[in-house]
Structure 1
């Protein structure tokens, strides 16, 4: 489906983060087996990143795919915290409101940092973690994102952001040319004055302390790393460190950073095998 159809299918949830009343948008595939899989995106993406994966997994398992605050169709107004610490608060409220029992968290990029924080603080509710090219330890931020957080980005024309962000997807796919529908969908939320400012605020809120401060020993769940082995943003060595520290399995996929786009079939295959092995 295209990004407009995806947006039309989303629901909304009211959340409160640091005293700010905000709205979190999410796409849900209902009626499948529990526990649900919650897919968490990173920067500068949104829930549409999972367009080729969530529907497949959602054919027989409940799936929830939120937009982080400041991203996609969630609240974008200025003046609230967009760090992964704040996103953890949003994720906790979403899970408390929508899920009675455990969850499986599948996450990419800074979504991985959000998921790791939630798992460290709520280990009794996480039945499994699937990390893909995820921020962890001191692996981030990266120069591309830091540049998006420069003061001039907040005042940049929409056309500049479209070229800058769109180019990251067009040049970042592993094989052939990027699907224009995918690139259009990825940049669409940022193509307004509010969107440009929100992107800048999201970028400047990337804070390495929010993963270095974690006690990784508090994470007690099954782990699968599905990692694009050629990634220079989040090198595979960090995923290997996660596996060394937490236990679990590393599966190296032939991809750069955007592994959910580059390898959706393999991603679904390995994820479903992980769910079958660990959840029955």
Structure 2
């Protein structure tokens, strides 16, 4: 039976992280025992994206799935940076709070960009890295996110209009026609308030290409797996092929999916992921 977003949210804890002098609450799920695996989603999703993979990994490892600051059940108040650089700082504080020396990192979309920065800037801190349709180099932001990040969008878009826009975005870009309504609800629910509208716009406006162009993937020493949707119109597989050529220990697996690969190809994604992490 599919875990609902409300059930997922009810199992979350939170920790205060300090980013650029701002105290921000970061929500996360923490289950299992063993060496830690950190999951991080992208825009405009939240940790619920990884619900199936999280439960599978937690059977044999300690799994931690975080909501980026400004997303999900984390703080959304207006007035702090939500860029990949800031998200990396937040994740580092979360990892320090747990006292982990090294982690395995699983990232999708912007979360993959955070993982790429983390592994490139501190190679000894990441043992295994999994990137799924991740931002990298100057592959982003895409036009949809650039438009969403305009300041007037926050001022002029109602909660209902944003919900309709997000519903259409996911239905149009999920692979196939048989969509899990629980997934759709879980992706839209955090943005169902005026604060949520402003927060997702601020998140979109914080997409800064420089935060991936300033790191060199060739410095990544972690064993790396690229689980990539071959039909992705947002982050085409050519970017994955470039990452594969730049990272020494790297394997690219193409899955017949669009951008939301953990949802589009849940069973295959989970199988490749758990095998790699084992």
Shift of 1:102: 1.5
Distance 2:150 2:121 in 1: 32
Aligned to 1:183: 184
Shift of 1:151: 2.0
1:65-102 C-alpha deviation (Å, 9 max, x unpaired): 00000000111000100000000000111111114332
Answer whether contact 1:228 1:236 (CA < 8 A) is retained: yes
Aligned to 2:232: 231
Aligned to 1:133: 133
SS in 2 for 1:124: helix
Give the TM-score normalised by structure 1.
Answer: 0.96
Aligned to 2:273: 271
* Count of aligned pairs: 274
Shift of 1:275: 1.9
Aligned to 2:95: 95
Unaligned runs of 5+ in 2: none
Distance 1:217 1:235 in 2: 20
Distance 1:96 1:218 in 2: 22
Shift of 1:14: 0.7
SS in 1 for 2:23: strand
RMSD of aligned C-alpha atoms?
A: 1.0
Distance 2:200 2:177 in 1: 28
1:253-279 C-alpha deviation (Å, 9 max, x unpaired): 010000010111111111122123xxx
**Runs of 4+ off more than 3 Å:** none
1:1-280 mapped onto 2 (5 Å cutoff): 1-31=3-33, 33-34=34-35, 36-155=36-155, 156-247=157-248, 248-276=250-278
Distance 1:44 1:133 in 2: 14
SS in 1 for 2:52: coil
Distance 2:274 2:221 in 1: 20
Distance 2:45 2:125 in 1: 26
